Structure 1
Amino acid sequence: MHALAIPLGLAFLLIFWRVSRGQKPGIQLHAATLLVSLIAVFVSVPALWQALYEGYPKDSFFTLKTSGRLGVLAISSTAIMVFFQILTQKTGYLLHWSDRRDASTLTRLCIFIGDCVSGIALFIAGIWVLPQAFYGFYRILIPNLPQQIVIKPSPDFERLADILQLQSDGSLSQHLTGITFYAVILFTAFLHGYNKSLEKQSIVLLLMAYIAIQIANII
């Protein structure tokens, strides 16, 4: 199945890359880029196909009432949109800084890698504190829950490593977390590729990002 999924995900990215050439960066293009990045990760991992086909039969999300599900989806969607908007602003600043200094291609590639790393760091920080928002929502659904801090003293990197394996028996929240994590890299590659100074190298950045994701998922 991997033999089909990996090239299929890559083909999906390359088609969007070709279509997006020459378009002016803005909210619409960035939103489309985010959506494409998320879908490309999903398409390239067969275990996610299997999980979706099976319908997550034991997932706690489906034990919630409709209002509860909508609330969880609203929190998740808002968090993702806000997070990627922050990434967009961060990358824009880095690109503006490199343009002003007429940075070399090698320097820009180093900036791209650093941008990906910082984006991942922000993502880890985000999923570290986000459980508090979900717990606050669950307290609305279940008033008997005690008021408490559920944020751990430090991020659980071991659990994150397990999530990033994207196994078919993972939960819906784990899969969404893993997909979003990898989408950070693709999204960042697209943003750098939209910069005129890196337009010729944009396909290289995208391929670097995609290969890195596949290697990370295998490891």
Structure 2
Amino acid sequence: MINILAFLTAALWVVWVRRGSHHTLWLIPAALFAVMLATPPFWHAALAGYPKDSFWTLGPSGRAGVVAIATSGILAIFLMISAKTRALFSLGWPRMIALPIDIATGLLMFGAIYSLSPQAFYAFYQLIIPDLPAQWVIDTAFDTGRIRHIVHIGPDGSMSDHLAGIGFWAVWPFTFWLHFQPDARRG
């Protein structure tokens, strides 16, 4: 699980480092990095290279495709969260009301998109794995079991689980920092 003290320390460090930057895009890797720093199970598995992970059973082009889909998906999720936050700003709500609603909505958005993501990966696998049948691989639009699993970020998690969990937890600092951007139209 994520170490809360390490998470707060990492988040404060990232805020200090990015003091002069006003670009929302910078906040995406900063939020992801802050959560990575606060997640020892991720470091241990990453340093070991995830040797038993199914990612390594793919060829170089398969791995590149998976990385491209995952990176595009994370970027799209966080850009949608940013757009949602800007829309919420336009309502003029006080930050004490808007911020918790914004974070909760961002987590729900992440969960819904994450729940649907296996279909995108499966469609890609159909391109690279011969004779893979056409099928629907997701059970529900919001898979609470899968979400609970990735939120845990356990030591035995796969690379995919860890990175999804890091993305989920990064919604918190990302949304928080959006609310405290110098150009955020907040009172």
1:102-181 aligned within 5 A:
103=93, 107-181=94-168
C-alpha separation between the residues in 1 aligned to 2:38 and 2:140? 34
C-alpha separation between the residues in 2 aligned to 1:122 and 1:115? 10
C-alpha separation between the residues in 2 aligned to 1:117 and 1:7? 21
In the other structure, the counterpart of 2:16 is 18
Kept after mapping to 1: 8 A contact 2:116/2:141:
no
In structure 2, runs of 5+ residues without a counterpart are none
Matched pairs, number: 184
C-alpha separation between the residues in 2 aligned to 1:37 and 1:54? 23
Deviating 4+ runs (over 6 angstroms): none
Matched AA of 2:11: L
Matched AA of 1:189: F
Secondary structure, in 3 states, of the residue corresponding to 1:164? Answer: helix
- Change in CA separation of 1:196 and 1:22 when aligned onto 2, cut-off 3 Å: farther
**RMSD of aligned C-alpha atoms?**
1.9
Matched AA of 2:15: W
**C-alpha displacement at 1:16, in angstroms?**
3.1
2:40 to 42, 46, 50: 46
Asked if residue 32 in structure 1 is aligned to residue 26 in structure 2, the reply is yes
Which is bigger in relative contact order (C-alpha 8 A, separation at least 6)? Answer: 2
Kept after mapping to 2: 8 A contact 1:8/1:44:
yes
Matched AA of 1:131: P
**C-alpha displacement at 1:78, in angstroms?**
0.5
Structure (1 or 2) with the greater helix fraction: 1
In the other structure, the counterpart of 2:91 is 97
Kept after mapping to 2: 8 A contact 1:132/1:151:
yes
In structure 1, runs of 5+ residues without a counterpart are 199-219
In the other structure, the counterpart of 1:75 is 69
Higher radius of gyration, 1 or 2: 1
Instruction: Using structure 1 for the length normalisation, give the TM-score.
Output: 0.77
The share of aligned pairs that are identical, in percent, is: 38
Matched AA of 2:89: L
Instruction: Using structure 2 for the length normalisation, give the TM-score.
Output: 0.90
**C-alpha displacement at 1:182, in angstroms?**
0.4
Kept after mapping to 2: 8 A contact 1:112/1:192:
yes
